[in-house]
């Protein structure tokens, strides 16, 4: 149990009648440990929900399972009873950990990796910034640099793969209707809640295989770590008495098939050209031609090349390229305008008289180097909300796919806007920041765009909490002014754009057949 996520207090969780309490030395984490539950609904019709990459569940195939009365199944059942009869402390902990939910845990693992790799490359002695190399991911600098756009994309593909794979899994579950092992033989000892959901293919194995494939591609230096997680997850289902081996094998096969199709999209979405530095000269010329008198320039020494200047050309999920251009906001104020002077003066006043509360907000939402970035912050919010609502695996995956695709779309649109206008940051006018200096243009605010997009989606999925999510997005936006990173108009326009972007994901969700 090496994951930092496990450094939490587990309060008297009963596993096979044994109380397992893990005491953490890290007192800074106050979030309760997430444990297994019986979902509020098994969403038995979810095999008909609209997918992102698959055209239908039959895009992937699955063998007919053996009958529960067959000799093969009975042998598997005997093996399961042997494996689940008596567990070590470590096996019990694995059951509790993975029992919180496959989608929940793999999303958590992905965020942990994003934080681990969110480290900007340092300069060499000759003043150059080497580019991370996917073919040699553990060399210095390590690949990837999991900045906000990269993290948004990684989490979007992860969530889409999980969701599409689970839609296919649900379709096959209710086609074959093989019940859980403990319903075949009441003497099977189970360590987790058992629902009426058919067990073939295993939803945990589906999610694990799909997640493993996506994360191995996004974080190629972490294959041994991911191998260990995959094996532990699979074994936990045997130790918990939840699945026989053929449930798991079928789930892995299905998850692998779907993930391969999702990665096919990833390889052609334009990300490979996102860091193309040759496009910036034309962007700068165009911005000047539209009247910009001073362009954004890197404030680092040595000057760092701009981050992902062509990310705005990456494919979006919930609308097409023409809509992306329509979503681009109006031009920011001219640098010699009263509007600009007013916004700059506001930042100077904050700098001079910043309150403790403003400083707290700036630091809480900074989500800078070493964090899982604003997209990760909102994925965590979404996952926790779905867990608290006791969503089924597939409904949780749907929630994260809606949020994840909205966040990636927000990043693409925001980056297209940033490099279209090439607007200078407050630091070019004498202001300093204590929350990290982003290496890309100012207008519009990424935090604001990401946050409003996610909050809009979450407010639709959880309407009783819509005001709460909207307030969080507003605070995230304000934090960039309190950190002296952005002008007010960067933030206000970013919120507006993010809300418009999120509305496309909401519209998709209302038409996906899920009933929400």
Q: What is the DSSP string of 251-270?
A: HHHHHHHHHHHHHHHHTTSS
- Is 498 in the same domain as 430? yes
Residue 13, domain member (yes or no): no
Give the tokens for residue 182. Answer: 């403990």
Angle of helix 148-176 relative to helix 393-421, nearest 10 degrees?
150
Domain end, chosen from 217, 242, 266, is at: 266
Mark whether 344 and 398 lie in a shared domain: yes
Query: What domain range is 327 assigned to?
Result: 271-510
18 strand-pairing partners: 15
Q: Cis before residue 252, ω within 30 degrees of 0?
A: no
Non-local CB neighbours of 464 within 8 Å, separated by 6+ positions: none
User: Do 446 and 468 meet the contact criterion of CB atoms below 8 Å apart?
Assistant: no
Answer yes or no: is 343 within a domain. Answer: yes
* Neighbouring C-alpha atoms within 13 Å toward the C-beta of 477: 30
Decide: residue 74, CB within 10 A, 0-12 exposed, 13-18 middle, 19+ buried: middle
Task: Assess whether 72 and 141 both reside in one domain.
Answer: yes
d(CA 272, CA 260): 18
Residues 226 and 303 in one domain: no
- CA of residue 331 relative to chain centroid, distance: 30
Backbone angles phi, psi at 18, to 5 degrees: -105, 130
* Contact present, 311 and 414 (Cβ < 8 Å): no
3-state secondary structure 58-117: HHCCCCCCCCCCCHHHHHHHHHHHHHHHCCCHHHHHHHHHHHCCHHHHHHHHHHHHHHHH
* Residue 31 is assigned to a structural domain of this protein: no
Q: Which of 247, 266, 285 is the last residue of a domain?
A: 266
Query: Residue 281 in 3-state DSSP?
Result: helix
**Are 292 and 253 part of one and the same domain?**
no
Question: For the range 297-303, what are the long-range contacts, defined as Cβ-Cβ under 8 Å and sequence gap of 24 or more?
Answer: 297/424, 297/428, 298/439, 299/425, 299/427, 299/428, 299/437, 300/437, 300/439, 302/123, 302/127, 302/128, 302/129
**Residue 16 DSSP label:** T
State the Cα–Cα distance between residues 149 and 418, nearest whole angstrom: 13
Q: Phi first, then psi: what are they for 249, rounded to 5°?
A: -60, -45
Q: Dihedrals φ, ψ of 433, to 5°?
A: -130, 150
Residues 6+ away with beta carbon under 8 Å from 278: none
Report if residue 369 sits inside a domain: yes
Indicate if 280 and 234 belong to the same structural domain. no
Does residue 295 share a domain with residue 257? no
- In this structure, is residue 11 part of a structural domain? no
Helix axes 89-99, 102-117, angle to 10 degrees: 90
Question: Quick one: which of 306, 329, 324, 327 has its CA closest to 314?
Answer: 324
Distances (CA, A) of 79 to 29, 51, 82, 192, 304: 39, 36, 5, 18, 58
Distance CA(324)–CA(313), nearest Å, equals: 10
* Residue 430 confidence (pLDDT): 95
Q: Are residues 447 and 332 in the same domain?
A: yes
Residue finishing a domain among 266, 297, 322: 266
The 8-class DSSP code of residue 312 comes to G
pLDDT at res. 31: 64
Q: Is residue 158 part of a domain?
A: yes
Residues 259 and 281 in one domain: no
What CATH number corresponds to the domain at position 419?
1.10.606.20
CA 324 to chain CA centroid, nearest Å: 21
Asked whether residue 241 falls in the same domain as residue 342, the answer is no
Q: Are residues 261 and 186 in the same domain?
A: yes
157 to 65, 110, 193: CA distances (angstroms): 29, 11, 29
DSSP letter, residue 337:
S
- Which three-class secondary structure string do you get for 206-233? HHHHHHHHHHHHHCHHHHHHHHHHHHHH
Number of domains in the chain: 2
Walk along the chain (516 residues) and give the pLDDT tens digit of each residue: 444 333 332 333 333 333 333 323 333 445 678 899 999 999 999 999 999 999 999 999 999 999 999 999 999 999 999 999 999 999 999 999 999 999 999 999 999 999 999 999 999 999 999 999 999 999 999 999 999 999 999 999 999 999 999 999 999 999 999 999 999 999 999 999 999 999 999 999 999 999 999 999 999 999 999 999 999 999 999 999 999 999 999 999 999 999 999 999 999 999 999 999 999 999 999 999 999 999 999 999 999 999 999 999 999 999 999 999 999 999 999 999 999 999 999 999 999 999 999 999 999 999 999 999 999 999 999 999 999 999 999 999 999 999 999 999 999 999 999 999 999 999 999 999 989 999 999 999 999 999 999 999 999 999 999 999 999 999 999 999 999 999 999 999 999 999 999 999 999 999 999 997
Residue 8 lies in a domain: no
Confidence (pLDDT) at 161: 99
Q: CB pairs under 8 A, 24+ apart, for 327-333?
A: 327/413, 327/497, 327/500, 327/501, 328/413, 328/416, 328/417, 328/420, 329/417, 329/444, 329/493, 329/496, 329/497, 330/493, 331/290, 331/421, 332/421, 332/423, 332/443, 332/487, 332/489, 332/490, 332/493, 333/489
On whether residue 478 sits in a domain, the answer given is yes
User: Hey, is 411 helix, strand or coil?
Assistant: helix
* Residue with token string 């059942």: 77
**Separation between Cα atoms, residue 314 and residue 215, nearest integer Å:** 19
Same domain, 323 and 439: yes
The H-or-E segment that residue 14 falls in is strand 13-15
Instruction: Tell me the torsion sign for CA atoms 182, 185, 186, 187.
Output: negative
Inter-residue contact 378 to 399 (CB < 8 Å): no
């Amino acid at each position: 149990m090496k994951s930092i996520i496990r450094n939490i207090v587990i309060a008297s969780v009963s596993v096979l009648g044994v109380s397992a309490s893990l005491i953490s030395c890290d007192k800074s984490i106050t979030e309760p440990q997430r444990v297994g539950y019986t979902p509020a609904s098994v969403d038995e019709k979810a095999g008909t929900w609209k997918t992102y990459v698959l055209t239908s569940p039959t895009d992937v195939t699955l063998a007919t399972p053996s009958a529960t009365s067959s000799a093969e199944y009975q042998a598997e059942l005997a093996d399961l009873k042997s494996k689940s009869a008596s567990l070590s402390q470590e096996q019990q902990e694995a059951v509790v950990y993975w029992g919180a939910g496959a989608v929940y845990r793999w999303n958590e693992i992905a965020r942990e990796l994003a934080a681990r790799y969110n480290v900007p490359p340092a300069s060499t002695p000759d003043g150059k910034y080497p580019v991370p190399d996917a073919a040699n991911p553990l060399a210095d600098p390590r690949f990837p640099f999991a900045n906000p756009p990269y993290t948004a994309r990684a989490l979007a593909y992860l969530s889409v793969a999980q969701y599409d794979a689970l839609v296919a899994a649900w379709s096959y579950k209710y086609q074959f209707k093989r019940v859980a092992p403990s319903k075949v033989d009441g003497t099977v000892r189970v360590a987790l809640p058992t629902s009426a959901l058919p067990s073939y293919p295993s939803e945990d194995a589906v999610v694990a295989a799909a997640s493993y494939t996506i994360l191995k591609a996004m974080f190629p230096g972490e294959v041994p770590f991911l191998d260990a997680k995959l094996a532990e997850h699979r074994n936990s289902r045997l130790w918990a008495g939840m699945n026989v081996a053929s449930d798991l094998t079928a789930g892995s096969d299905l998850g692998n098939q779907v993930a391969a199709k999702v990665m096919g999209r990833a390889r052609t979405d334009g990300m490979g050209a996102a860091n193309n530095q040759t496009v910036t000269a034309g962007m700068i010329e165009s911005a000047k031609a539209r009247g910009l008198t001073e362009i954004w320039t890197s404030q680092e020494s040595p000057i760092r090349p701009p981050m992902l200047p062509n990310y705005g050309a990456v494919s979006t999920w919930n609308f097409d390229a023409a809509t992306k251009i329509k979503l681009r906001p109006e031009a920011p104020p001219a640098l010699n305008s009263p509007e600009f002077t007013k916004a700059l003066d506001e930042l100077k006043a904050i700098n001079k008289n910043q309150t403790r509360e403003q400083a707290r907000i700036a630091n809480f939402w900074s989500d800078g180097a070493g964090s899982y970035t604003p997209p990760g912050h909102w994925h965590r919010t979404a996952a926790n909300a779905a867990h608290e609502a006791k969503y089924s695996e597939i409904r949780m995956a749907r929630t994260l796919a809606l949020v994840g695709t909205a966040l990636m779309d927000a990043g693409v649109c925001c980056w297209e806007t940033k490099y279209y206008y090439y607007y200078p940051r407050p630091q070019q006018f004498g202001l300093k920041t204590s929350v990290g200096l982003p290496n890309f243009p100012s207008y519009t605010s990424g935090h604001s765009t990401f946050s409003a997009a996610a909050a809009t989606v979450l407010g639709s999925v959880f309407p009783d909490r819509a005001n709460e999510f909207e307030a969080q997005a507003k605070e995230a936006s304000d934090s960039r002014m309190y950190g002296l990173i952005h002008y007010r108009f960067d933030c206000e326009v970013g919120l507006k754009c993010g809300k418009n972007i999120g509305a496309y994901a909401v519209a998709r969700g209302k038409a996906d057949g899920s009933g929400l």
